[in-house]
Amino acid sequence: MNVSAATPPEAAACVRAAGEAGISCAASKCGHVHLDLRPMQAVRFYQPGDLTVGADAGLTVAALNALLAGHGQFVPLDVAEPERTTLGAVLARHGSGPLRQRFGTVRDFVLGLEMVNDRGEIVHCGGTVVKNVAGYDWMKLMIGARGALGILTGVNFKVFPRPQGIESACFRGLSWPQVEAIRSGLLHSPLRPLAIELQARGGERAVTVTYAGSAAVRGRYRREMSRLGAPEITEGAWPAATPPTNAVYPPAQAVAALQAWEERHQQLSVTGRLGVGAFHVEPAPPPPPVAPAAAGLMRRLKQELDPGGLFHGEDCGPSA
Amino acid sequence: MPPLARLAADLTAKLGAENVLTDPLARTLYEYDGGVDRAQPDLVVFPRSRDQVAAIVRAAAAAGVPIVARGAGTGLSGGAVAREGGVVVAFNRMRRILEVDVENARAVVEPGVVNLELSQSLAPTGFYFAPDPSSQRACTLGGNVAENSGGPHTLLHGVTVNHVTGLEIVLADGSVAQLGGQAGEALPGAWDLTGVVVGSEGTLALVTAVTVKLTRLPEAVGTLLAIYDQVGQAAETVTALTAAGITPSACEMMDGFCLRAIEAATGAGYPMDSAAVLLMDVEGLREEVEEDAERVEAICRAAGARSVRRAADAPERELLWKGRKNAFGAMGRISPNNYVMDGVIPRTRIAPVLEEIEAVGRRHGFRIGNMFHAGDGNLHPLVFFDERAGELPRALACSHDIIQVCVAAGGSITGEHGVGIEKQDLMPLIFADADLAYMERIRRAFNPDGLLNPNKMIPQSRLCGEIRGNAALYREGL
């Protein structure tokens, strides 16, 4: 059953009704009740001078960034399909993109969260200011939990000045050792690129480094880049979004792991973050197992925070 | 044998007599932290390994005795104070750096490692640990994790949680769990438990190892000191910097009152006659630092700075920072006691909020000093008082009103010091009943018997009998 909610109280009422009926509820197609939050699109506040913004979870990433662009600001959420992807979905899936190299993931710039819990109550965590350690930071628990513990209805972000003078350097025709040499070379350099992206497909490998700054800063980057090879420079190009991460490695072990995987899968396709070791890989390698003690803690949290098993998260976290 | 004596004997057998303090006089050293709350623990133990921590927790839990973790005791909110008695687990003897993995920009350390010592030992690699609380010469990584500590340079680099990728923890039942640890994001099916434990103030688990992210030392750093005749001009500069899209790596404000005491104590070269200064760092490539320093200087002057000094070299930079880093020690010159608060406000509201705070001080009869992380709106108002004159209760009442001013401005009751005992009863200023009840449920999932750092963070009046449970029984049994 599809139900739309235009406000947090409407979402809460829907969760209470599902709870009373003893059926599951999700902001994805997983639950008996599919709670569609897309009508919930209000911008709750925007303080350009404080670099803070708060919005409903149903607002899309593209709509939020269109608003922020008016003040030369943005949230560095360069996920695929930003026109269709809601803020709630980015949080639930812990979505990220190439800019993660510089800005971290959404975990690093969410300031506050509003959620409907298993009792149909609207609960809040964090706040609206850029620094805050009051109370448990259960925002972290919800980011990436895929809706398994509640329905996210609102979020406050720290926003950033949008980088000016963007440029990229693309190294093509690389061997795996050359890819690793670029990764390590950048790690030990004083450079702080916005993105370091690997693209590998059918034996062809390229690395694109994106950076920004004045002409003098870009000139410095070009000189440093030429020490790592002979890149092709493109002005004004933002890094392209990629499909969601499905393979994570310690960065220094990533190239060896991908090379080994390629030996088993000639048609390997890889896109993703060379600097942080997070990729979308086809065919996907098996995910690493969750340590048993951590899995036990997740079960206890699910049992405590959703004892009735009301929330059926997308890909469904542990069930009660 | 009474349960406590039995526990003491048991832990002495497990850890050795040299790692267990039972003597009342020795225990008094562990009854306080850097804040104002005091309570004497019944036992203090010094584990040397994760397995010893697990054994301590199992034994204490079996005896129904509260367990309070402690690092260097530099916290300012009573987080390490055993207010319900019990065992203080002091991590000072677990201070090994277990692994430095430069290629993956990470290190694994024991919780007793001192913050600054970690960065100093990493220096030859060209990397460091970015969070730099003012107490960094003494405070430990375990304490930083518990409090989610900040510091001046978190403006650019983020607070502790942004630099911790994994934890090894001992749970309330004495079992061990490995959380995170990989540089990557959580994949489907793995929740960010690390992020929940950071900042949980010792109430969810004891941390026995921390995986930290290492940050590359910048190629260049520029340090600027902007000097103002009016506090409002300094506040205006902060707003203008943000509007111009400049993020200094640090942006500290000191008012004239604090400044004069600091200068007298440290000789850092601060002007004795100004109303306020901003101490700012910009960092990055040489080219970036040159440009940013020029832009920052222009913005300071446009906002009315009387002069802007730029440190010519590293020794001058260190001297300027020496004043700020030793500032709290210098406050003793102003009055016998001071009470430092930790409110956060939107950074565009600094000027009016500082005026309101001054008015609150006048109302209570106290002089208020200000030196704080202006760039992120994290205020540290200082109430100067004399405890011997019986002024502490009035100073606390004044502080409470100051925090209310921050909350009314849309801010928070703590930016980096934590809630602990100090701000436990202020939590309802920013959280509704349902929010606090949800936090209780999270605590219950980790710490069902309530023995880990009991009676902290969540207001006690809220706690139902079930969660007060064992800690309350323990106290009544004494």
C-alpha neighbours within 13 Å on the C-beta side of residue B83: 19
Question: What's the rounded Cα separation, in Å, for the pair B139 and B133?
Answer: 8
Give chain A's mean pLDDT. Answer: 94
Query: Hey, are the CB atoms on A276 and B182 less than 8 Å from each other?
Result: no
Instruction: Report CA Rg, chain B.
Output: 23
Query: Hey, are the CB atoms on B148 and A135 less than 8 Å from each other?
Result: no
Interface test with B, best of A52, A136, A139 (most B CBs within 10 A): A136
3-class secondary-structure state, position B77: coil
- Arithmetic mean of pLDDT, A131-148: 95
Q: CB within 8 A of B334, min separation 6: which ones? A: B257, B258, B261, B367, B369, B384
Contact A213, A166 (CB under 8 A): no
pLDDT of A320 > 50? The answer is no
pLDDT of residue B182: 60
Q: What is the interface pTM, i.e. ipTM, of the complex?
A: 0.96
A54 against B331, higher pLDDT: A54
- Residue A120 zone, left/alpha/beta (φ > 0; ψ -120 to 50; rest): left
- Arithmetic mean of pLDDT, A215-229: 97
Query: Hey, are the CB atoms on A130 and B284 less than 8 Å from each other?
Result: no
Token output for A200 = 């590998």
pLDDT of residue A316: 41
Q: State the pTM of this model.
A: 0.96
- Arithmetic mean of pLDDT, A237-249: 93
Tell me phi and psi for residue A95, to 5 degrees.
Answer: -70, 150
Surface-to-core class of residue B356, CB atoms within 10 Å of its CB (0-12 exposed, 13-18 middle, 19+ buried)? middle
- Arithmetic mean of pLDDT, A106-130: 97
Surface-to-core class of residue A140, CB atoms within 10 Å of its CB (0-12 exposed, 13-18 middle, 19+ buried)? buried
Buried-state track A230-244, b at ≥16 Cβ within 10 A, e below 16? ebeeeeeebbebbeb
Q: Tell which residue, B167, B214, B213, has the closest CA to residue B193.
A: B167
Q: What is the mean pLDDT of each run of 10 residues along chain B (478 residues)?
A: 91 97 95 94 98 98 97 97 97 98 96 98 97 95 98 95 96 95 59 96 98 97 97 96 93 94 89 95 98 98 97 94 86 90 96 96 96 96 95 95 97 97 96 98 97 95 52 61
Q: Which amino acid is at A12?
A: A
Q: Tell which residue, B435, A63, A93, has the closest CA to residue A53.
A: A63
Q: How many CB pairs under 8 A join A and B?
A: 264
pLDDT of A314 > 80? The answer is no
| Beta bridge mates, B77 | none
Find the DSSP H helices in A79-145: 87-93, 100-103, 139-142
pLDDT of residue B17: 96
Token output for A222 = 């070009």
pLDDT of residue A32: 86
Q: CB within 8 A of A15, min separation 6: which ones? A: A25, A35, A116, A117, A118, A120, A151, A310
pLDDT of residue B51: 98
- Arithmetic mean of pLDDT, A46-70: 97
pLDDT of A290 > 90? The answer is no
Kindly state whether B377 is in contact with chain A, defined as any CB-CB distance less than 8 angstroms: yes
Residues in A closer than 8 angstroms to B186, CB to CB, are 94, 144
pLDDT of residue B366: 96
Distance from CA of A246 to the nearest CA of B (A): 7
